[in-house]
Amino acid sequence: MKSASQRLVVVSNRLPVALVKDENGWQVKQGSGGLVTAMAPVLKNRGGVWIGWSGAPADADPADGPDADMDRLFDDFTDEAGYELCTVPLTQAEVDGYYFGFSNEIIWPLFHDLQSRCRFHPRYWRSYLDVNFKFAEAVARRSTPDDYIWIQDYHLMHQAFFLKSMGVRRNTGFFLHIPFPPPDIFMKLPWRAKLIQALTEFDLVGFQTVQDRRNFVSSLHRLMPEAKVEGRGAVVTVNMGNRSFRAGAFPISIDFAQFSKMAAQPDVLQKAAELKEALRHRQIILGVDRLDYTKGIPERIRSIQTLLRRYPDLHGKVNFIQIAVPSREEVDEYKELRTEIEQLVGRVNGEFSIPGWVPVHYHYRNLPHDELVGYYAAADVGLVTPLRDGMNLVAKEYCACNNKGDGVLVLSEFAGAAAQLQRHAYLVNPYDMEGIAKALHRALHWEPEERKIHMAKLREQIRRNNIFRWVDSFLRAGIAKSLVDFPEMETVQFDRA
């Protein structure tokens, strides 16, 4: 194991890998999503540890799972990725109660202002606590008092609470990747006091935006009036009488240079050119999302329908491409959402298609990274309209890949990214189909120079505030250190014990 006195230990619901079975047996693949995109470059070759669930239930039939090869697979990944993996085994019942239940049927909709979708089953809460305790035991075993424990997201809000209850002293930071709701919504949670108490046990609690932090502090004041906030700016100190912790806004970002560099590669440029050629060089409006009811995909398709109804001059001159990455396919609600989207696409295409032109192209699949970047590079307009989002990295990825500087970002005002990008993106209300249609029409007719001015400002903002600055700002607030205090090493030896 790396001999440095302090390591970064990242803890999340899922490890940054996916277990996939093909004709050669089980394989470990790099995962997808904002968290993996954000943290993988940070841990690489710095002796870090990532603790999480593998994705395979511990009580599954051995014939159906990779248990026999798990250690070898993860060791191989560790050698290649440059950081260590630590698995927390979960049974199917634990996954059902803690993940599908409490995390995704209560916290996810509640924190996205969609409380009508919540199912407040008490058994979900009990399962959530049990699994959080199991994670805390793993953190205690695989870390030292010198390490910095960085807990990621809403699945694991009780980590500091349980570590302290076990008498384990660790410096802990927590980052919430999704929004924190206003008090009137948060107070609907039956276990609100216990959850807010657990969050106060961290040394640093981080949010995507200043508004999220304010929502948290407002809820804290409702439940714990004795809490006093000191300081101004992005990070404040909360005094609880006999102890204190810090709360701050740390907008997450991307590796701008990596995306921009990939978008300039000849094979990616070729993919973008082939896409433009296949669509006869029409203007392209692009949407990219994980399939989820918070992303506003049905509303977006209806906006395209409104656009084509209001502006017939666009017929045959524009294409909307929606890429939907499969998610929670076993959940009925997501199956219904997929069906709704497919039916909407069919209706719009049925209404407007003419020989040689189908307005909406819908792709329900995971795209290879280079192919996705090719879509970003080819798109004239990035249409990012979640109903509510913690940040939304797609908006930043689109801008980073727009090396020509002639794209337009149409962005939901309810995405966390709007706080940073509002001056040069075209902000819209995702529920306002006519408003989005008007915004798209204007974006499609913007003068080239105007496009370039706004896109240049967007790209510079994202370049300066990249993923490494996000990590630096969190570490500086948490332990008065920066990423350079965890230097890359040419070789890192890992303890296989």
Residue type present at position 34: G
| 177 part of the active site | yes
Separation between Cα atoms, residue 262 and residue 310, nearest integer Å:
37
Could you identify the residue written with the tokens 């997450």?
A: 252
Strand partners, 395: none
Query: Phi-psi bin for 174: left (phi > 0), alpha (psi -120 to 50), beta?
Result: beta
| 147 part of the active site | no
User: Which of these is catalytic: 112, 158, 177, 454?
Assistant: 177
Given 3-state DSSP classes, what are the helix, strand and coil percentages for the chain, each rounded to the nearest 5? Answer: 45, 20, 35
> Are the C-beta atoms of 419 and 251 separated by less than 8 Å?
yes
Q: What is the DSSP string of 136-177?
A: HHHHHHH--TTSEEEEESGGGTTHHHHHHHTT---EEEEE--
Q: What would the two tokens of residue 119 be?
A: 């199912």
Separation between Cα atoms, residue 215 and residue 186, nearest integer Å:
9
Q: Which residues of 112-134 are buried (b: 16+ CB within 10 A; e: fewer)?
A: bebbeebeeeeebbebbbebbbb
User: Which of these is catalytic: 147, 289, 292, 389?
Assistant: 389
Provide the annotated active-site residues. 177, 389
